[in-house]
Amino acid sequence: MSDSLALLLVPGLPIAGFLLIILFGRRYFPKASGMVGTFIMLISAAISILTAYKYFFVTGKVDGVYQHMYAFKYVWLPFTDSLSIDMGAMMDPISMVMIVVVTFVSLMVHIYSLGYMKGEERYATYYSYLGLFTFSMLGLVLSTNIFQIYIFWELVGVSSFLLIGYYFDKPSAVAASKKAFIVTRFADAFFLIGILVLSYYTGTLDFETMIQRLTVPGEHLTAIATAGFLGASALTWGLLLIFIGGAGKSAMFPLHVWLPDAMEGPTPVSALIHAATMVVAGVFLVARMFPVFALSCPVALDVVAYVGIFSSMFAAVIACTQTDIKRVLAYSTMSQIGYMMFALGVSRFGGESGLGFTASFFHLFTHAMFKALLFLGAGAVIHYVHSNEMKDMGGLRKHMPVTHIVFLIACLAISGIPPFAGFFSKEEILTAAHQSNPVIYWCAIATAAFTAFYMFRLYFNIFWSKEYKPAHNHDDHGDDDHHHGEAPWAMKIPLIILALLSIGTGFIPFGNFVSSDGHALHSEFHLTAAILPVSLAVISILVAALFYRKLTVVPTRLAGALKGVYSAAFNKFYIDEIYLFKTKKVIFGIFGNLAAWFDKNIVDGVINLSATAAENFSDTLKGMQNGKIQNYAVYFFSGLLGFVLLMVFLSN
Amino acid sequence: MKDIGLTHFLIVSTMLFFIGVYGFLTRRNMITMLMSVELILNACNINFIAFNKYLFPDKLDGTFFTLFNIAIAAAEAAVAIAIIINLYRMRKSIDAEDADMMRS
């Protein structure tokens, strides 16, 4: 199969599945749409894995360097000879890694949902949305053109909106979907401005041309680097604006507020969109523009690094206090994406200094596996307990042995315990940070310790702690006392596959495949560097075990002792409240009132004035139609007279 | 001023026309208004005949139009009187002031 056909099929099949299910599936085969969607996804995933394999091992490498290749590319909207919006599929290491991640996780979620979503009323609609999302995400990662990425970026936002708001009869889900859409859309506005700034100076929208013009010294680079605005060059502004777009999608501080709320969606959706694929779009975007960041504008890259490390720590602290298990995972996602971001931020272009780039994508890959596993595992728990709250759980290890094991594996992986996948990628990130910036390195070490603590707090609270009593099932259904078992096989199989991958993917020599400049990067593994983070993680796990393995008063006492910090973290550092204050008081209160005044008095005033004028005029005119025939005759004759006079006047 | 020329006919017809207009606008009795309309029509007929005689003496178009007009005037009078009779049956009046049923 040729690459162009393959990469046409990879995103083409999910969108075909979406159309098939939304147009016909909902009516004619609602029960079978899950199988249809899953089957389509299976083909798409198989093709994408084959294509990536072919790229990495057969065609991609020329003289030891991975090439940028176009599977296909055609002009979609030409503006001038040099400026056009193209549609196409680019093949390079990062896009190949991404299509594998996206299709694979999507496939796992499709299979899992066969069990999890069974019996839902809008089952077919759910599967169609999954197809739409997968299509958009694949289109995004394969983009050849910054405008194409923007189009798919928005499509991803829409499908995320649809899936978060899937339970649209739940007001909190509706609010969450709106919030996610508005916050990311707000960031996307900056992204668009960034696109316009960069394309204005480079005269192109094509990634390859743009990157080339912005990295190789020449007229374009000189123009954009000298044009200043508020003390920074247009290049810095353009890149920062693009990063804001990426930060919005990737839930970086301070645009992260939508991600925890997005957990209102079905849990498999959270696994797919809000853990493994869509939220790393920002990382992907920065990686796509990475040569420009690294070669021409290190300042912007520093911003990426600091935003990344701050978000990472910030989220890790909040995650220690949350009680909703999905929210803990949401904050841990934000923290891990912060890891990927600062790994990009500390990286430089080419050679050994590009280790951060490789590490970032390595972590993206392993994180996709273990975070999807964590979410799907949490989904299985929620499926069993019918609650998201930790207080309703505890002691589940006997009730759900498979989930228990895979969840433990995922927790070990994310905590960076060897030999699980997270250990290797995290070590690589820490090494990269150590090489370039000690502040970031120590912050990252602290974050790693926090990560281990909150993940095992979660683990012990779910599976150990107190004995499990299915208390509230009595309220739900009378006969539900004998429980419905752990989970159907459709849910267990993806969990097991992902667990195996969470163990195994760490051993992939990622530097051979993905690096900032396409050359293979042989990172040496320093055992000594691993001692500190691993021992810290182990200590954190032991502390978590001490606190939460049995029900003790220690955590409550500790929370009491650190009252201020604890309640601030529990309330997510009041970021939501600040936003509410800003929107309610400042925007609605001041600008909103001004706009309302303008609308009521000026805009409405003009309309009302014209309406009143028309009414008065027509009232006057109405008086002429009084039914008196002789009045009419007067009008008629005076009109005639006027006409005659006019003719006389004109003819003279 | 030896002969009677075109101007004299036109003066007569103009006077007749405006007498008709005056009557149409001022009289309230519908029969009188109808008579005024007849005056206006006849002023028009005089014009036709006069122009025919003085400007195109070898043609008969004006005369024919006049004959048409007389026929039309007769028909119009018949229709108008029928309307007036019906109005009288409804309103017991043939005053134009009372015939304002089509007011907005």
For A241-275, what is each residue's pLDDT tens digit?
A: 999 999 988 888 888 888 888 888 888 888 888 88
In a mutational test of the B interface, the residue from A626, A630, A644 whose CB has the highest number of chain B CBs within 10 Å is A630
What is the domain partition of chain B in residue ranges?
6-92
User: Is residue A510 pLDDT above 50, yes or no?
Assistant: yes
Q: What is the largest CA-CA distance in chain B?
A: 57
Q: Is A377 helix (H, G, I), strand (E, B) or coil?
A: helix
Question: DSSP assignment of A44-103, as one string?
Answer: HHHHHHHHHHHIIIIISEETTEEPPEEEEEEEEEESSSS-EEEEEEEESHHHHHHHHHHH
Q: Is A573 helix (H, G, I), strand (E, B) or coil?
A: helix
Token pair belonging to A548: 């939460």
Kindly list the distances between the CA atom of residue A325 and the CA atoms of A200, A258, A419, in Å, as whole numbers in the listed order: 46, 16, 25
- Of the given ranges (A282-291, A336-345, A589-598, B78-87), which has the lowest mean pLDDT? A589-598
Higher pLDDT, A134 or A216: A134
Q: Which of A253-262, A518-527, A627-636, B26-35 has the highest mean pLDDT?
A: B26-35
The mean pLDDT of chain A is: 85
User: Nearest-CA distance from B58 to chain A in Å?
Assistant: 29
Give the type of residue at A167.
Y
pLDDT of res. A480? 43
Residue A518: pLDDT band with limits 50, 70, 90? confident
Phi, psi (deg, nearest 5) at residue A232: -130, 155
The nearest alpha carbon in chain A to B29 belongs to A630
Estimate the crossing angle of helix A421-436 against helix A355-385, to 10 degrees.
140
Residue B83 forms contact with A (CB below 8 Å): no
Token pair belonging to A165: 């708001």
Element (H or E) spanning A232, and its range? Answer: strand A232-233
Say if CB B43 and CB B14 are below 8 A apart.
yes
User: For A412-453, how does the pLDDT look when each residue is reduced to its tens digit (9 = 90+)?
Assistant: 988 888 888 888 888 888 888 888 888 888 988 889 888 998
Beta-carbon contacts below 8 Å between A and B: 28
Rounded to 10 degrees, the C-alpha dihedral A414/A415/A418/A420 comes to -20
pLDDT of res. A475? 44
- A39 vs A58: CA distance, rounded Å: 28
Indicate yes or no: CB of A637 within 8 angstroms of CB of B97: no
The nearest alpha carbon in chain B to A637 belongs to B21
Say if CB A102 and CB A288 are below 8 A apart.
no
- Measure the CA angle with vertex A191, ends A151 and A244; round to 5°: 135
The mean pLDDT of chain B is: 89
Q: Is A191 helix (H, G, I), strand (E, B) or coil?
A: helix
Indicate yes or no: CB of B21 within 8 angstroms of CB of A637: yes
The mean pLDDT of B60-71, rounded to a whole number, is 92
User: For A529-570, how does the pLDDT look when each residue is reduced to its tens digit (9 = 90+)?
Assistant: 788 888 888 888 888 888 877 777 777 777 777 777 777 777
- A480 vs A474: CA distance, rounded Å: 7
Q: Is A266 helix (H, G, I), strand (E, B) or coil?
A: coil
Pairing of the two strands A65-66 and A228-229: unpaired
Say if CB A183 and CB A257 are below 8 A apart.
yes
Residue A217: pLDDT band with limits 50, 70, 90? confident
The nearest alpha carbon in chain B to A623 belongs to B104
User: Is residue A474 pLDDT above 50, yes or no?
Assistant: no
pLDDT of res. A2? 79
Q: Is A320 helix (H, G, I), strand (E, B) or coil?
A: coil
Q: Tokens 């099929």 belong to which residue?
A: A9
pLDDT of res. A436? 83
Taking only residues 12 to 71 of chain B, the set having a beta carbon closer than 8 angstroms to any beta carbon of chain A reads 21, 24-25, 28, 33
User: Is residue A40 pLDDT above 60, yes or no?
Assistant: yes
pLDDT of res. A484? 62
The nearest alpha carbon in chain A to B22 belongs to A634
User: Nearest-CA distance from B2 to chain A in Å?
Assistant: 30
Q: Tokens 């197809």 belong to which residue?
A: A131
User: Nearest-CA distance from A629 to chain B in Å?
Assistant: 7
Residues of B in contact with A633 (CB under 8 A): 24-25
The mean pLDDT of A227-242, rounded to a whole number, is 84
Whether the CA torsion A571, A340, A295, A141 is positive or negative: it is negative
User: For A21-37, how does the pLDDT look when each residue is reduced to its tens digit (9 = 90+)?
Assistant: 888 888 888 888 888 88
User: For A389-411, how does the pLDDT look when each residue is reduced to its tens digit (9 = 90+)?
Assistant: 877 787 788 888 888 889 899 99
- Of the given ranges (A72-76, A183-187, A347-351, A523-527), which has the lowest mean pLDDT? A523-527
pLDDT of res. A555? 72
Say if CB A502 and CB A409 are below 8 A apart.
yes
Say if CB A408 and CB A414 are below 8 A apart.
no
Token pair belonging to A359: 């590490």
Q: What share of chain A is helix, strand, coil (3-state, %, to 5)?
A: 75, 5, 20
Higher pLDDT, A290 or A516: A290
Residue A584: pLDDT band with limits 50, 70, 90? confident
- Of the given ranges (A109-118, A315-324, A508-517), which has the lowest mean pLDDT? A508-517
- Of the given ranges (A61-70, A479-488, A524-533), which has the lowest mean pLDDT? A479-488
- Of the given ranges (A84-88, A308-312, A565-569), which has the lowest mean pLDDT? A565-569
pLDDT of res. B81? 92
User: Is residue A481 pLDDT above 50, yes or no?
Assistant: no
Residue A476: pLDDT band with limits 50, 70, 90? very low
Give me the count of residues in chain B. 104
User: Is residue B2 pLDDT above 70, yes or no?
Assistant: no
Q: Percent of chain B having pLDDT more than 70?
A: 95
The mean pLDDT of A461-485, rounded to a whole number, is 59
Class of domain B6-92: mainly alpha
Count CB atoms within 10 A of the CB of residue A467.
10
The nearest alpha carbon in chain A to B18 belongs to A637
Say if CB A1 and CB A92 are below 8 A apart.
no
Higher pLDDT, A475 or A103: A103
Q: Which of A626, A630, A637 sits opposite B103 (nearest CB)?
A: A626
User: Is residue A478 pLDDT above 50, yes or no?
Assistant: no
